[in-house]
Amino acid sequence: MSRPAHSGFRSSSGAATEAVEDYTKAIYSLSARAEGVPVGTSALATRLGVSPGTVTTMLKRMAELGLVEHEPYHGVRLTEAGERVALEVIRHHRLLESFLADSLDMPWDRLHDEAEVLEHYISEELEARIADKLGDPAIDPHGDPIPSAELVIEADRALPLVELELGALATFARVSDADPEMLRYLDERGIRPGARLTVTERQPFEGPLFVDVEGVEHVLGRPLAAAMRVTLQDAEA
């Protein structure tokens, strides 16, 4: 199944609307975290760094374009068309991160910001060339799944490290790419996606976790452990 030359949103003038793409991507991400519950205006405003009023105005416009279903005070959902826009932008973003890391050796704490700028501007031809050059990767450098060319994305089977049971063997699957300091912290300790780990001790009262990563013990704070996603060894079989 192939896509049109560009299946993302285009305004009537033909120019890509970055804000619309950013909104669809943010709604998609927040919806995934909320497990299908409509995304609230306040949460979306916080995510995008804008006022709730600005969000409301944009959602009305996106509803007119058929990209969202928005009911005031009840939240917003992406339509099928809106989800395709989100997945295409996510595919661009994650392929760009992979290209920057693989071909340009860019540190993984800088990949997100660069890809955020470029994701709106690459053509479908360039997207296809990048994917071909990289061998059509399934995940980006941070471990996030890359939507396929048909805009299909794998189901998420990972759970937060903070929820991993003591002694359970797991693989570090991914971590949010939005916090450069967090990425640098992990990188300096050699903790990368693919590493095998086990939680050996969990301190009470929201204290840190003691985690064995490939035979080396690390003390990780709760916020960091909550941002890290792992897959159980049984789930990988």
Tens digit of each residue's pLDDT (9 = 90 or more) over 92-101: 999 999 999 9
Least confident span in 10-24, 29-43, 109-123, 159-173: 10-24
Q: φ, ψ for residue 14 (rounded to 5)?
A: 95, -5
Q: Which domains does the chain have, with CATH numbers?
A: 1-155 (1.10.10.10), 159-236 (2.30.30.90)
Structure tokens at 55: 């969000």
Residues 6+ apart with CB under 8 A from 162: 209, 222, 225, 226, 228
Q: What is the mean pLDDT of the chain?
A: 89
Helix axes 52-64, 18-33, angle to 10 degrees: 100
Give pLDDT, residue 236. Answer: 52
pLDDT digits (tens, 9 = 90+) for 27-66: 999 997 766 689 999 999 999 999 999 999 999 999 999 9
| Mean pLDDT to the nearest integer, 75-102 | 96
Give pLDDT, residue 179. Answer: 85
Residues 6+ apart with CB under 8 A from 79: 66, 67, 68, 69
Give pLDDT, residue 7. Answer: 46
Whether the per-residue pLDDT at 104 is higher than 80: the answer is yes
* Among candidate residues 236, 229, 233, the one with its CA nearest the CA of residue 173: 229
CA atoms within a 13 Å half-sphere pointing along the CA-CB vector of 229: 14
Whether the per-residue pLDDT at 10 is higher than 80: the answer is no
Pair 41, 27: CB distance under 8 Å: no
